A = this chain, B = another copy of it.
Amino acid sequence: MAVTIRLQREAFDVAAEVAALTAGRADVGAVVTFTGVCRAEEGGEPIAALTLEHYPGMAEAEIARHVEEASVRWPLLGVTVIHRHGRLIPGEVIVLVATASSHRQAAFAAAEFLMDYLKTRAPFWKEVEKASGKTWVGAHRADDTAAERWSAPPPRHQAAK
């Protein structure tokens, strides 16, 4: 399985990353991507910027562990996770999760699993800048609930080719 994991300050080209994920693979039939974008407003108030702090070292290791877990649960051919840190302005991409498989259900499920993980357990913190000041984003109950659905014993699949 082709795995790319990067944490970076710089912007990146989603299309190029997806192309790299599937390049030269004869068996990829399905590619699912999730792109998280910095919104321009929240609760009706304009957002000036979003700053993402992370725990270097732990973030990479934890993401790698969850990509490995996804590859045990589903027959994946490739996974790309790129998460930015630093200050982002509205419209900028925060995170990309891309999954490739022979089958669409595996690609969808793995992308959702990784996003639920990133939202609730990966060591990143968001601070939002508005005209009224800077505030740290609180954890969302809905995200925790979404993440919990994966905690049942995973259905192991036959090792992917």
**Interface residues of A, Cβ cutoff 8 Å to B:** 14-15, 18, 22, 26-41, 90, 102, 104-105, 107-108, 111-112, 115, 119, 142, 146
Contact = CB atoms under 8 A, between A and B. Distances in A.
Contact of A35 (B31, B34, B102, B146): B31
Given A14-B15, A15-B15, A36 B29 contact: yes
A146 B105 contact: yes
B27 A41 contact: yes
Given A14-B15, A15-B15, A29-B36, 4 more contacts: A26-B39, A29-B37, A29-B39, A30-B36
Contacts of A30: 34-37
A41 B14 contact: no
Contacts of A31: 33-35, 37
Contacts of A41: 26-27
| 7 residue pairs, one from A and one from B, having the closest CB atoms | A26-B40, A15-B15, A31-B35, A33-B33, A29-B39, A108-B112, A32-B34
